[in-house]
Amino acid sequence: MKKLIIKISLIILTIFLLFSFAKSILPISSHIAKGNGMAPSIQKGNIFKVNKRIKIFNRGDIILYKLPFDKSEYFQRIIAVPDDKIEIKRNYLGITEVYLNDKLLNEPYKIKKKELSNHPKAIQMKPAIIKKYSYFVMSDERDLSFDSRFFGPLPKWFIKGKVIDIEK
């Protein structure tokens, strides 16, 4: 009887470990937006799917990443890729404008509204060149964004995957 209990316990443990391992290596994962940092593209409560096998990222892609000093995962938009020159200014209307390679970036996904954050890094960033294997990320809702303006360009190895579907 004791051997049977041990065998059943081992089988249950093995199934649990296999399920946990399989879940961590599956190429597609689902996530629920916990805030409105990417509104209107992704709003609080929306479910979005991430493809973890995608390893090539482009400007405009929404990605999921994890910072080494934080347990949370974040999703934001790639604004600049390696070798891009980026500069940020707040215009006279209080709207953050991104200049990419010396041209004003067209951001149709971003609501053009006066932003309230008075943090110096949210208002202005001097021109910078994005290094190899790094990406400059920002949220669409800039007032709710802790992004590359604050922690710098995001190393590629922090990126978990690319958002491929948003259920609204």
Q: Which pLDDT belongs to residue 25?
A: 65
Q: Which pLDDT belongs to residue 71?
A: 87
Could you tell me the pTM of the whole model?
0.83
Rounded-to-integer distance, Cα 112 and Cα 89, Å:
14
Q: Which pLDDT belongs to residue 38?
A: 93
Ordered mean pLDDT values, 10 residues apiece, the chain (168 residues): 68 60 71 92 95 96 93 95 97 94 95 87 94 97 90 96 93
DSSP string, 66-78: E-TT-S-EEEEEE
* Residues 124/127/130/135 CA torsion (nearest 10 deg): 20
